[in-house]
Amino acid sequence: MSRKITVKTMQKYKDEGQKISMLTAYDYSTAKYIDEAGVDVILVGDSVAMVVLGYESTCSVGIEEMKIFTGAVARGAKNALIVGDMPFLSCDCDISSAVKNAGELIKAGANAVKIEGCSEYLLSVVKRLVETGIPVMGHLGFTPQSFNVMGGFKVQGKTREAVENILKQAKALENAGAFSVVLEMVPQDCAKYITENLTVPTISCGAGKYCDGQVLVSDDAFGKYSDFCPKFVRRYCDMKSLILECAKKYNDDVKNGNFPCSEEVF
């Protein structure tokens, strides 16, 4: 039976104490299987830049690429809430361009967009998007698009002052209309404190078990991307080994004349 997840479902899950599951996907088939598996939210993350396109950071994709990946995921997933990631600089322009960019992801099939950071300006963008009818997921703590400013991939919220600052930002996002907030790479106790003081659901990306939900990059969780693996990732599969094994077998079969066989020809 179809059970389309909406932003309201996510709030209901938090209110009832039910955990929210979220994975990234970037293509039709992966989205279809993740959806079939019952995962609540599919994020078309700008992590696509690194794990699919092989760039060194997430800053290397733009709205045109994100539209293509979002469309593919939307065609594959029936029930999951689809969140399109707003890529680097797609919000930090004038407000009407930010609305246009977010609108492109919605037109491509996303049900909501995710925005990294929380400047005064970004809060006004969030407010306008929500007024326009575009739900917004916030993203605080370590925000990969700002890794140059943050001095690399570093855990955030390590001091009392930093924790209070993240809570202040999370509340500001909630007040601006965000329907949930991703907390990336902050200590578990920090995420717990923020989760308990926020009405909307928090989603942990390396922020421990007390958030209302969890997100992982699927290429990390399935063991496909192997350039590096963050400490907080749990590997559910070793796709790299599976692909290597299959590609080697295929290579041998072709070289030895074992492929194709009589059943595989016209």
Point out the residues that are catalytic.
184
How far is it, in rounded angstroms, from Cα 79 to Cα 232? 27
Tokens of 165: 């600052």
Closest CB to ligand KIV among residues 193, 225: 225
For residue 62, give the DSSP letter: -
Token pair of 125 as six digits = 């963008």
Instruction: Report d(CA 146, CA 153) in Å as an integer.
Output: 9
Does position 217 interact with ligand KIV (CB under 6 A)? The reply is yes
> How many chain residues bind ligand KIV (CB under 6 A)?
12
For the chain, give percent helix, strand, coil, nearest 5: 45, 15, 40
Q: What's the rounded Cα separation, in Å, for the pair 115 and 178? A: 10
* Nearest residue to ligand KIV, scored by beta-carbon proximity: 45
Among 205, 207, 211, 221, binds ligand KIV (CB under 6 A): 205
Provide the minimum distance between the beta carbon of 188 and ligand KIV in the complex, in angstroms, as a whole number.
17
Q: Rule CB under 6 A: which of 85-114 touch ligand KIV?
A: 85
Choosing from 106, 122, 166, 182, the residue that interacts with ligand KIV (CB under 6 A) is 182
Instruction: State the minimum distance, in angstroms, from the CB of residue 63 to ligand KIV.
Output: 14
Q: Which residue among 31, 105, 173, 215 contacts ligand KIV (CB under 6 A)? A: 215
75 vs 178: CA distance, rounded Å: 25
Q: Which of 37, 58, 7, 8 is nearest to 222 (CA)?
A: 37
Q: d(Cα 182, Cα 197) in Å, to the nearest integer?
A: 14
Q: How far is CA 167 from CA 43, 73, 190, in A?
A: 23, 32, 9
Residue 83 contacts residue 113 (beta carbons within 8 Å): yes
Q: What's the min distance (Å) between Cβ of 239 and ligand KIV?
A: 17
Decide: is 21 part of the binding site for ligand KIV (CB under 6 A). no
Asked if residue 82 binds ligand KIV (CB under 6 A), the reply is no
Nearer to ligand KIV among residue 149 and residue 265 (C-beta): 149
Window 22-61: contact mask with ligand KIV (x via CB under 6 A): --x------------------x-xxx----------x---
Residues that bind ligand KIV (CB under 6 A): 24, 43, 45-47, 58, 85, 182, 184, 205, 215, 217
